[in-house]
A = this chain, B = another copy of it.
Amino acid sequence: MLLPVPALSETTVALCIFFILLVPFAGAGLSLINTGLGRSRSAAHSMVASLCILAVAAGVYFLCGFAWQGYIGRPAHVFTVAGSEWSWIADEPFFFRGLELDGSPASLAAWLEMLSVGLAALIPLGAGADRWRLGACCASTALLAGWTYPLFAHWVWGGGWLAQLGVNYGLGHGFMDGGGSAIQALGGLTALAMTWILGPRRGKYSLEGMPTGIPGHNAVFVLFGCLLALVGWLGLNSAGAILFTGAEPGRAVLIAVNTTLAAASASLMAAVITRTRWGKPDASLSANGWVAGLVASSAACAFIIPATAVVIGLIAGALVTLAVEWFELRLAVDDPGGAISVHAVGGIWGVLALGLFAHIPGRVLNTVSGPLRGSGSGDSGQWLAQLVGVATLLGFVLPLTYCLNSLLDRFYPQRVAVEGEQQGMDLFELGAGAYPEFLTNPEEFTRR
């Protein structure tokens, strides 16, 4: 049995409400980052798609997503293996009908998830920029918010089998993720699946397979989006730690310091690496580093000291610069927003980092008792639990999201028609450009 979720004090409820209200800034930030890293002739399309994705995700999660995700201690389908009960999917009524939206932990979790599923669904948009049809974005989001996300989130945050690895199998406290690095990884892996399904943009790769740089159209949007994302992640990490791991509200200060330091060190690391390698720091990779730091901080930020957060950030910043190059050059994956490197690689690193570095004495949910410790502090069980989570992401979630989106693609083609790409998504799909009065040179990069 998992520990029951304790009742939250009135002040803790107020803090949670407030943290969750900051989460939309993460969505606003990611939208601007995606849009700024895309082409000017797809900018309106990217923003409309962001709005629609957030809307569809909220609606579908309300319809059936929460019913399958649930929350710790609430009804779920369990199966018994070797004498242990494992929970694999929640059993709630649709449309939030079983839920009093009154500030209870479950209601706060449902609301937080309604926003954070939209966040996860925004991630693939960065990878599918300039070629993903609006209708298909919405349909793919419905699959994510209605099935992939709730299922995996139940396992992690709803008292499902990953969370039960501790009580049932003795692996530390079971799979742990305070603020959602694993959720980001889910979004990033969906982005990877989408790049396979959509294929690269026309003109991205030469006949010999050499990639061309297609710069984002507005660096100010990208970097300003990073600052908004920071605020959103401060909310996300704090609310998640309280609702899903039982952190005390005062630990929000630790979480905030850690989150900030991880983002800061990751962006500086990306700037230093790009400067060292190519002579000049790269603006968009520094921005990607910043977000990768945020993503990597999420899982562990409530369970580490600030110096560790700096280390996690530095490694995240290094990983993202290498991953971006690796995906583009080696795997011929065209990911304009760097979504895979930032969210999948950064998220998986964050999940593993918890297993390595976590070291907080004190109660956590998901287990019977005892302090949370990573392998660096002598508990290799926790590290194993994190590895099982990563294996689930790579071995189950990635194939699942690939299959679902391929199936969708068969019935409703996800990639825009050729003339759409030539014309630009804005004109082709929306009938109007984002900046009708400004003179641009849109052909410059497609001609190559």
Contacts and interface: CB of A to CB of B under 8 A. Distances in A.
A323 interface: no
A396 interface: no
Interface in A259-285: 260-261, 263-265, 267-268, 271, 278-283
Contact of A220 (B52, B221, B431, B437): B221
A135 B283 CA distance: 14
Contacts of A254: 101-102
B111 A283 contact: no
Contacts of A208: none
A21 B235 contact: yes
Given A52-B267, A56-B268, A280-B429, A253 B15 contact: no
A218 B310 contact: no
A253 B215 contact: no
Interface string A424-439: 0010011111111111
A55 B267 CA distance: 8
Nearest to A271: B52
When all copies of this chain in the complex are counted, the total is 3
Given A9-B10, A104-B250, A134-B281, 6 more contacts: A11-B11, A14-B18, A40-B438, A51-B267, A51-B290, A439-B439
Contact of A227 (B31, B222, B280): B31
Most buried by B among A290, A436, A440: A436
Interface stretch (A42-50, A76-84, A174-182, A400-408): A42-50
A442 interface: yes
A93 B366 CA distance: 35
A363 interface: no
